[in-house]
Chain A
Amino acid sequence: MPDIKTPTTRWTLNGQEVENTSGMTILEAASEHGVEIPCFCYHPGLSIAGNCRICMVESNRSPKPVISCSERIADGLEIETESEVAVDARNSVMEFQLINHPLDCPVCDKSGECVLQDHSYSHGPDRSRFIEDKNIRHTKELGPTISIWGNRCIVCTRCTRFCDEISGTSELCIVERGDRSVVDVFPGIPIDNQLAGNTVDICPVGALISHDFKFEARVWNMERKDSICGGCSRGCNIEVETLDGFVKRLMPRENQDVNDWWMCDEGRYGWRHLYSDDRVLEARGPSGPLDSSRSITAFIEILDNSPRVAFLIDPFLTCEELHLVHALAASSSDSLVGGWLPEQGAAAEFPAGFKISADKHPNRNGAEQVFGHQVFGEDASHLQRALDDGSIETIVAFCGGPDPDGPGQEWSAALVKASTRILFSVLEGNWLDGAALVFPATAPLEKEGTWVSEDDRLQRTRSCWKPGETPFPGELVLLQSLQSALGTRSRSLSAAGIFRELSEVCAPFAGHNHSDIGSSGLLLSDRPAGVGAGGGA
């Protein structure tokens, strides 16, 4: 229901009187009533260009059809979206758009998610009256990651508006005029801004092609999961697309509280290490690979024989995994926990408000909630001192980041001072030399659980693995198996179950559960009524 104070407008949509917030465009207002008007150049995140004309509708206020993406609703306005005039206008625009379009869908990466293809199917003619030669426009690289296939461009200017308004870098322009116009860059100034990949997403056709995804998959064969980017502490909402269980592409997922419709290129293309030849894929001891049960027995043996165990956590672990580490640490007396942080990167903020964080990891905030604010500060220094003075023999360390150096040189050097090391790592690296046990670690896209972004937003990330086809037991499973073997856990739980345990013992998470987090996350402080910050603890 509209807010009492918001002025509303009464108008007529396809013969039915309807009401919307005043000032909306016809297109947006109609969509609120379930009437989808086709559009190419309109994008909710960009300024209105009104150049493609596909969104024309019949209006009682105009002798000619009007474009619904820019025309606003008004009292008494009567709009028809399916009348003969409207349908005819739409079909004519479609025919016009297709005059020079190659319709090379069979070899086009956009096929299956192409707006032109969809509208052509529903509004286009089934044959062409155009017998002249089609125009040829350039196919070329516009930058290191993007090419233009000019023949497919419908000159909607979404991509140029993106570079003008969202990234603020203005590398793209439309050159030439009329049926020769096409997207280009100034000679010698390629498109290489940190948000460039988004232009490919918003291109309604297959004109902008990402080199990374070119000819990689037909989009209808891929499976999709709502997830979160682990590239930095912003926690951009993303969709992970896989083919036969392998990641093929990451796409931003709309979340107006976090990333709008966008994501950065570093996050978008930063998943190749998942399939690196240097992946640690099985547990091993000094004498070779260990199967799951033997690795757990070996782990327990070490714990049993260690007077004092220390844990070095990382900011990639989910809150659930951290909770399990916390429980494990609590179950052995006199344990120490500290955390390591990857080197800071560069932060960036763009004209339209999109931000990239300098913290190149997803869950520092969550770890501080689970272990207390000093875990990367005073606790970490304390742990380092204890390692230095030789008072720690056994340490369990985690590295879920993409760096083969693990926790970095300083920490690696400190770790060596503990004679028995159990190390979790995504990639092989020198820091694993001499370890008592090495376990494969899950990379951010493989984790199932929650992270807390730098804005205190609790969000759910989902594993790109096919359920039941996991290459190795992730930390969530392994740490629970350990607990079972130690006799501290009676049954193993999903990430949601572990989160419930966490919310019962850790005040910042009190009152929350996985299903309430939903697809767009929530602020840690947004508790259901009746649950105080201290509740549940």
Chain B
Amino acid sequence: MAVTLSFSPSTMKQYEWLLTRYPTRRAALLPTLRLAESEFGEIGVPEMRYVADLMEIPPAFVFGVVTFYTHYRRAGTGKYHIQVCSTLSCALRGSEDVVTRITERLGIVPGETTDCGLFSLSKVECLGSCDTAPMLQMNDDYHEDLSIDDVDQLIEQLRESAKGGSN
């Protein structure tokens, strides 16, 4: 049975406030998706549908926006989402080596999640931190000026904290 999604009253209040901040309803889509993400934990098909119906915009439009950005936590993403910037500055400074290293260590290629559901790997567009290339974003944190050792260390750390049940 599909559970009918719905914003909690407090989230709904925030949504209504958001609408007052934008010239058109459609313009408020990005922050509304953020609300949905924190309310529902991830953005999948039911969540997109809910937002589309709520905002009275075509579901396909929401789908296009959600998939354009790499910033939303899409359904099925692992606990640790590693997003390696692959745009120009990072590419020139070795982002491909970073990706290869992660693939070697985790056994997944970009777009995949480990069987244990812990790690997801993505290649993403410029994250606005070109001066510290190459860089990646792990969940909400930036890891910059990466060396291969940094990558190894990060993965170890994450494995540890997963074991410890924290983070």
**Which A residues fall within an 8 A CB radius of B?**
160, 164, 170-178, 181, 184-189
- A184–B64 Cα distance when bound, in Å, is 8
Other 20 A-B pairs with CB < 8 A, given A164-B58, A187-B45 = A170-B58, A170-B60, A173-B60, A174-B64, A174-B68, A175-B63, A175-B64, A175-B68, A176-B67, A176-B68, A177-B68, A178-B125, A181-B68, A184-B64, A185-B60, A186-B48, A186-B60, A186-B62, A187-B63, A188-B45
Name the residue in B52, B64, B68 with the highest tally of chain A Cβ atoms < 10 Å from its Cβ: B64
Q: Given the complex, which residues of A lie within 8 Å of B67, measured CB to CB?
A: 175-177
Give every chain A residue within 8 A of B125 (Cβ-Cβ).
177-178
Query: Do residues B60 and A171 form an inter-chain contact, with CB atoms below 8 A?
Result: yes
Contact call B59/A189, Cβ cutoff below 8 A: yes
**Is B22 part of the binding interface, using a Cβ–Cβ cutoff of 8 Å?**
no
Judge whether B61 is part of the interface by a CB distance below 8 angstroms: yes
Residue in B closest to A164 when the chains form the complex, CB atoms: B58
Most chain B CB within 10 A, of A181, A185, A189, is at A189
Contact check, B64 vs A173: say whether CB atoms are below 8 A apart: yes
Main SS class of interface, B: helix
| A186 touches which of B63, B68, B69, B70 (Cβ 8 Å) | B63
Chain B contact residues, CB within 8 Å of chain A: 45, 48-49, 52, 58-64, 67-70, 125
Q: Which residues of A contact B59 (CB under 8 A)?
A: 186, 189
Closest to A191 in B: B60
- Given the known interface contacts A175-B67, A177-B68, A177-B125, the answer about A170 and B61 at a Cβ–Cβ threshold of 8 Å is yes
Q: Which residues of A contact B58 (CB under 8 A)?
A: 164, 170-171, 173, 186
5 residue pairs A–B, Cβ–Cβ below 8 Å:
A171-B58, A173-B63, A177-B69, A184-B64, A186-B62
Given A177-B67, A177-B68, also A172-B60 (CB < 8 A): yes
Closest 4 CB pairs of A and B: A173-B64, A170-B58, A173-B60, A186-B59
For residue A175, give the distance in angstroms from its CB to the closest CB of chain B: 4
- Asked, given contacts A177-B125, A178-B125, whether A189 binds B60 with beta carbons under 8 Å apart, the answer is yes
For A187, the closest partner residue in chain B by CB is: B45
**Most A C-beta atoms less than 10 A away, residue of B52, B58, B68, B70:** B58
Question: CA of A238 to CA of B52 in the docked complex: distance in angstroms?
Answer: 37
Give Cα A187 to B45, complex, Å.
7
Chain B CB within 10 A, most for which of A171, A173, A174, A188? A173
A188 to B, closest residue via Cβ? B45
Contact partners of B45 in chain A: CB under 8 A: 186-188
A420→B67 CA distance, assembly (Å)? 69
Residues of A within 8 Å of B60, CB to CB, are 160, 170-173, 184-186, 189
Collect the chain B residues with CB atoms within 8 Å of residue A177's CB.
67-70, 125
Complex Cα–Cα for A164 and B64 (A): 13
A164 to B61, CA, bound (A): 10
Chain B residue numbers with a CB within 8 Å of A164 are 58
Shortest CB-to-CB span from A1 to chain B, Å, is 43
Chain A min CB distance to B113 (Å): 17
Whole-angstrom CA separation of A460 from B154 in the bound complex: 74
The chain A residue with its CB closest to the CB of B65 is A173
How distant is the Cα of A302 from the Cα of B93 in the complex, in angstroms? 94
Complex: how many Å from CA A188 to CA B52? 14
Chain B positions within 8 Å of A189 at CB level? 59-60
CB distance from A105 to the nearest CB of B (A): 29
How far is A188 from B46 in the complex, measured between Cα atoms in Å?
Answer: 11
The complex places the Cα of A517 from the Cα of B2 at a distance, in Å, of 59
Chain B contacts for A175, CB-based, 8 A: 63-64, 67-68
Find chain A residues with CB under 8 A from B61 CB: 170, 173
A192 to B62, CA, bound (A): 19
Complex CA gap A65/B137 in Å reads: 37
Residues from chain A with Cβ under 8 Å of B64 in the complex: 173-175, 184
Chain B residues within an 8 Å CB radius of A160: 60
Q: How far is the CA of A175 from the CA of B70 in the complex (A)?
A: 12
Chain A residue with Cβ nearest B70: A177
The residue of chain A having its C-beta at the shortest distance from the C-beta of B111 within the complex is A180
The distance in angstroms between the C-alpha atoms of A189 and B61, with both chains bound, is 12
CB neighbours (8 Å) of A174 from chain B are 64, 68
CA distance A188 to B48 in the complex (A): 12
| Shortest distance between the CB of B99 and any CB in chain A (Å) | 15
A160 vs B61: C-alpha distance in the bound complex, in angstroms?
10
User: In whole Å, how far is A160's beta carbon from the nearest beta carbon of chain B?
Assistant: 8
Residues of B within 8 A of A170 (CB): 58, 60-61
B36 CB to closest chain A CB (Å) equals 15
B69 / chain A contacts, CB cutoff of 8 Å: 177
Return chain B residues, CB-CB under 8 Å to A188.
45
Contacts of A186 in B (CB 8 A): 45, 48-49, 52, 58-60, 62-63
A67 to B59, CA, bound (A): 31
What CA separation (Å) do A10 and B61 show in the bound complex?
Answer: 41
Complex Cα–Cα for A170 and B64 (A): 11
B residues less than 8 Å from A173 (CB atoms): 58, 60-61, 63-64
B70 partner residues in chain A, CB cutoff 8 A: 177
Identity of the chain B residue whose Cβ is nearest the Cβ of A180 in the assembled complex: B67
CA distance A189 to B60 in the complex (A): 8
- How far is the CB of B63 from the nearest CB of chain A, in Å? 5
A184-B68 contact, Cβ under 8 Å, with A170-B58, A177-B125, A178-B125: no
CA distance A449 to B50 in the complex (A): 54
The interface residues of chain B lying within 8 Å CB-to-CB of A184 are 60, 63-64
Chain B residues closer than 8 Å to A187, beta-carbon distance = 45, 63
Chain A residues near B63: list those with CB within 8 A.
Answer: 173, 175, 184, 186-187
Query: In the complex, what distance in Å separates the CA atom of A170 from the CA atom of B45?
Result: 17
Docked complex Cα distance between A57 and B67 (Å): 33
